[in-house]
Amino acid sequence: MEANGVTVSLVPLKTNLINLPADLGSTLYNLNLPAQNVLIKISFFRGGVAKVFYTGWSGYTTSGNTIEIDPALANVNELSETNRVKVAVITEYEEVNKVHVDPLSSSDWETIELHARALEDHLLSQTRAVQIDAPLVLYPTGSVTANLVVKKLEPEPKAKYAKISPNAEVIIAPKERKKKKTRSVSSRSSSKSRRARESSASVLLRGISLPHSFFQSYKEKNKYEVYANFDEIIYTLHKAEYVRVSIMPGPGKKPHEPSPQGSGEPASTTVIAKLVHDPKVHNHVGLSRLLAIALGVTDQVGDMVQLEPAVNVSIERKLEFVIHPFTTVSAPVSTDQLSLSDAKAKKEKEERQKKITEMKEELSEGFFNPETHIETCLTNKVRLPSMDGLPQGGVLQFKGTKSEWIMSLKNTRLNIDIGDEIVIPESQIPPKIEQDVSNEPIEKPLGQDDLIKKIEKVLKRRKIGALIFGASGSGKSLIVNEIAQRLYNDGVFRLHVQCSDFSKESSSNIKDKISAWLTKCAWYTPSVLVLEGIESLFPAESENADNGQTRQLTEYFVQTVESIMKSKNLIILATARSKEAVNSFLFSSHCIEDSFNLRAPNKGVRQLLIEEFLKKDNLSLSTEFDASQLSLETEGYLPSDLKVLVDRINHESIYSSIEKGEIEPTKIVSNELFTKAISGYVPSNLRGVKLQKSTTSWIDIGGLTEAKSILLETLEWPTKYAPIFKSATLRLRSGILLYGYPGCGKTLLASAVAGQCGLNFISVKGPEILNKYIGASEQSVRELFERAQAAKPCILFFDEFDSIAPKRGHDSTGVTDRVVNQMLTQMDGAEGLDGVYVLAATSRPDLIDSALLRPGRLDKSVICDMPNHEDRLDILKSITRKMNLGPDVDLNEVATQTQGFSGADLQAVGYNAYLQAVHEKLEKDKLESEGEVKSSNQNVHEFVQLSLKQAKQNHDMKPHERTKLLRQIEPLLENIEKEKQESEQETKKSEKKDNGVVIKNSDFLTSLKDTKPSISVSEKLKLGSIYNQFVSGRDGNMPDGTSSNEIGARSTLM
């Protein structure tokens, strides 16, 4: 690890340690490298001469690309603030436990003698790196320094520098008065320059395993190649043609090591590769397929790759290799194998030798084919991919040479031998070279391109978190996988976590997991962390539960994310069932800023999904039945419901073919087949939702022509003419208030319109949702709208609406006030209603809170007025549609005589007339049945009385006696069977025959005498005045909350 072009800042640190730039320090933190285990190499030029010295890291960082160093240490090393330095981190070094130093001058020796005790206490804490013939600065006090020169290190290191041990012994020789002969400045400078040239330069860049869209020039799979932009690395690597490639181990990542059971050699963590120029790439390197397999980073993005010039190449014309195959199961020698016979042992030895020979041939022809490969570099102990001769991969080891790597030329002779097996976990088995993992997901979300582009645009704009929420089966996983794949194609590291797998663990374990996930994302930055089912780890806080753990975990997650986002590019992409199920602190802290609701697919998307699912099952639609018809019948279905429905169609197809005796099942989907498959199937979002099934049809309602027209316009047209309404920029009407006189068909109209428009229907009686406990009523309202949203398209019908939402400020308990407030937010909140229509019915609209009656909530108020003559005639026709009317009945006359009757009164008139006709019919049938009983003496049956006692006594009857007895019984049995058949025929005839109930005009006259209008004249006038005032008399002045002084007025407790 290194940093170039670093500026120098002189700060009185009073130590031989320096403060590193923030980026370099952050990398060391992520690697979990403590400051005590790191040495720093500082390189710079002074007057055209290269200067190098070694020091330690204090553990602190600076802002920007700057190092902070003490002025005294900088002065003895000839470093100033005008220099630009190169900072390299050294993690591999030797350690010494004895250091011999000389004072630089006699005054330094005097200072050391004066402050011997202080130096003894602070010397080892101020110094970490020592170098032979290099100066060393001591800081006995805050204002005094002493300069030393290192003369000898024990044990003597190979690199001329080392780390001083915490328990090291420092021996200071007294300064002699005579002048010592020292080397000249020029000779010392040339020595340091020579050592600088001999030190190995390296480059640290972010790596991407190939193939990847970042690297368009990549073609060769069977070569060890690394792709980089030469303009970025040419100065550091000195135009090297081959480089040593290694991976800096990230958090929680360990180098590949063999199992203790294996006796083979471990794979090398450094691989030699050819450097290939790719001018279109910046700040990244691409690892060829073969190189990525050797380094164990196939199909990964974000690994820190270190490149160093490769030297000491060995060109071989004859290659001898030993291959150690990987295995996942150890095979110890058992006692049974020791006792095998010589013949059997010989046979097994021959089979093993044959297998080894075949493996050599396959390896030679496949991976090491001398006819196909041109010049390539091979590294000692390199990991080999899986292939035909090596099904689980292995390690290639050189034989007969000590070189780290060699060049094999064309037509090179190969000699391959098989060595001991190496036991590794299954997760470390290398893949095949030709086993390209496609960048495209297995399944793509259909019809969600606009949503995916919108989310992708938001995520790319800045560091942000996003939540995708929707019902189970709505396709959240497919969408987040598609987004993560697109970000991966742009070079972003992705980490996928299934949160439900960790929900049962302890709080400390979950914290460790969170820290590991975020640390890994910080190391491979830029990165995206996908949290599926985030509500499992960070659920919403509930009132009656212990929220300590969820609050603590959420705060820990937010704090960790915020600290990482300050310096790293991190994206959080989460999914949940609903936004309310996730802890709200994630949103208030801006850890997750944008939320996207995944709703049920519309008609066009459902058609695409159905066609795709049918295609996968090799099914096709008949000519008279297309996918658009299927999509109309599956309103409100989720993608998972459509998949199950297509599976049911396929099963019905197979079942019908078996019933018909056909060999091959039919692959043509007909209307009949679809009807069988969909019958009895309940979509997932409707399971557990209580829906009302109305038996009232549109033709059962007479009159109310204007109300019917408005309801159809509001509820049926948006579905029937979806393209027209979709292009409209205005918000569609979603709420209607039905008001009018009692018994004029408000409730009947609401129940019938759901079946007419093909919508689900949820009915709510007013007092059902009221509860005296604070928050319970609001919760009931929220759950109602959630049920309706789950069952959309749905009508949510509130009967007796004035009891639920009266004017606020007139309830001493405050229950209805809170219900009204909740209703206001639910009906026209920030998100609004989608696919949910609110119908409210009341006879007193003046009592309803005026805020609910504004546009956007209950947009339209429809009156169900008292029926006029035409309406009454239409209502009577609807009521008597299934009745058998006599020829003398004149419904027009009945309508004339029912002036002032409501629809319910007219229904009572019709039913009372029907009951009158039924009574007459029953009396007539009773008289007829009595006459038939008197004259029915025709069917007289003979019978035989048997004595059980006699039967027991005569149990030993002779055969001819038994035959005689059976002949006497047979006529009786035949008569019984005959009577049974005749009774069944008569029953069927009576069922088919008209019941004979005929309603005559006299029945209606009798009913009119008994039935009176349910609404009195005074009440009618009162309600008429209220409705007139409600429609045209409102002046827009809102009540000010003061109580009325009128007699009978409701008083408010303030």
| Confidence grade of residue 426 (pLDDT, cut at 50, 70, 90) | confident
480 and 594 both lie in a single domain = yes
706 and 681 both lie in a single domain = no
* pLDDT of residue 1018 exceeding 50: yes
What are 251-259's contacts with CB under 8 Å, separation 24+?
Answer: 251/30, 251/31, 251/32, 251/516, 251/519, 251/520, 251/523, 252/516, 252/519, 252/520, 256/296, 256/383, 256/424, 256/428, 258/422, 258/423, 258/424, 259/330, 259/422, 259/423, 259/424, 259/425
Q: Which domain holds residue 110?
A: 98-123+132-177
Provide the pLDDT for residue 831.
52
The size of the chain, in residues, is 1054
| Confidence grade of residue 334 (pLDDT, cut at 50, 70, 90) | very low
- Rounded (10°) CA dihedral 758, 759, 760, 764: -130
Q: What is the DSSP letter of 174?
A: P
> Which pLDDT tens digit goes with each residue over 82-105?
888 888 888 888 888 888 888 888
What percent of the chain has a predicted confidence (pLDDT) above 90? 4
> Which pLDDT tens digit goes with each residue over 257-268?
444 444 456 788
* pLDDT of residue 607 exceeding 60: yes
If you average pLDDT over every residue of the chain, what do you get?
Answer: 78
* pLDDT of residue 777 exceeding 50: yes
Q: What is the CATH number of the domain that holds 142?
A: 3.10.330.10
CA 980 to CA 986: how far, in whole Å? 10
Q: Where are the beta strands (DSSP E) in 759-909?
A: 760-765, 794-799, 836-842, 860-864
Is 494 contained in some domain? yes
CA 843 to CA 746: how far, in whole Å? 9
Is 24 contained in some domain? yes
Is 930 contained in some domain? no
CA 868 to CA 895: how far, in whole Å? 9
Q: Into how many domains does the chain fold?
A: 7
CA 73 to CA 11: how far, in whole Å? 10
Provide the pLDDT for residue 994.
46
769 and 905 both lie in a single domain = no
> Which pLDDT tens digit goes with each residue over 435-493?
554 444 457 788 888 888 888 888 877 677 899 998 888 889 999 999 998 888 888 89
Is 107 contained in some domain? yes
| Confidence grade of residue 531 (pLDDT, cut at 50, 70, 90) | very high
* pLDDT of residue 4 exceeding 50: yes
Provide the pLDDT for residue 127.
87
639 and 564 both lie in a single domain = no
785 and 880 both lie in a single domain = no
> Which pLDDT tens digit goes with each residue over 249-288?
877 665 444 444 444 567 888 888 888 888 888 888 888 8
Is 149 contained in some domain? yes
633 and 679 both lie in a single domain = yes
What is the DSSP annotation of 262-281? --SPPPPSEEEEEEEE-TT-
| Confidence grade of residue 187 (pLDDT, cut at 50, 70, 90) | very low
398 and 478 both lie in a single domain = no
Provide the pLDDT for residue 1046.
53
Provide the pLDDT for residue 368.
57
- The stretch 717-728 carries a mean pLDDT of 73
Q: What is the CATH number of the domain that holds 676?
A: 1.10.8.60
Provide the pLDDT for residue 953.
52
* pLDDT of residue 698 exceeding 60: yes
578 and 617 both lie in a single domain = no
User: Mapped to the 3 state alphabet, what secondary structure does 489-536 carry?
Assistant: HCCCEEEEEEHHHHCCCCHHHHHHHHHHHHHHHHHCCCEEEEEECHHH
* pLDDT of residue 66 exceeding 60: yes
CA 838 to CA 842: how far, in whole Å? 13
* pLDDT of residue 837 exceeding 80: yes
15 and 115 both lie in a single domain = no
Q: What is the CATH number of the domain that holds 284?
A: 2.40.40.20
- The stretch 143-158 carries a mean pLDDT of 84
| Confidence grade of residue 1052 (pLDDT, cut at 50, 70, 90) | very low
pTM above 0.75, yes or no: no
Provide the pLDDT for residue 182.
42
Provide the pLDDT for residue 849.
86
| Confidence grade of residue 367 (pLDDT, cut at 50, 70, 90) | low
Is 53 contained in some domain? yes
483 and 568 both lie in a single domain = yes
962 or 171, greater pLDDT: 171
Provide the pLDDT for residue 414.
66
Q: Which of 101, 92, 90 is nearest to 42 (CA)?
A: 90
Is 295 contained in some domain? yes
- The stretch 786-796 carries a mean pLDDT of 78
616 and 764 both lie in a single domain = no
Q: What is the CATH number of the domain that holds 769?
A: 3.40.50.300
| Confidence grade of residue 1036 (pLDDT, cut at 50, 70, 90) | very low
419 and 527 both lie in a single domain = no
Most confidently modeled range among 664-668, 829-833, 944-948, 962-966: 664-668
| Confidence grade of residue 555 (pLDDT, cut at 50, 70, 90) | very high
Provide the pLDDT for residue 676.
81
* pLDDT of residue 312 exceeding 60: yes
Is 198 contained in some domain? no
> Which pLDDT tens digit goes with each residue over 621-648?
776 666 666 776 777 788 888 888 888 8
- The stretch 979-997 carries a mean pLDDT of 58
What percent of the chain has a predicted confidence (pLDDT) above 70? 78
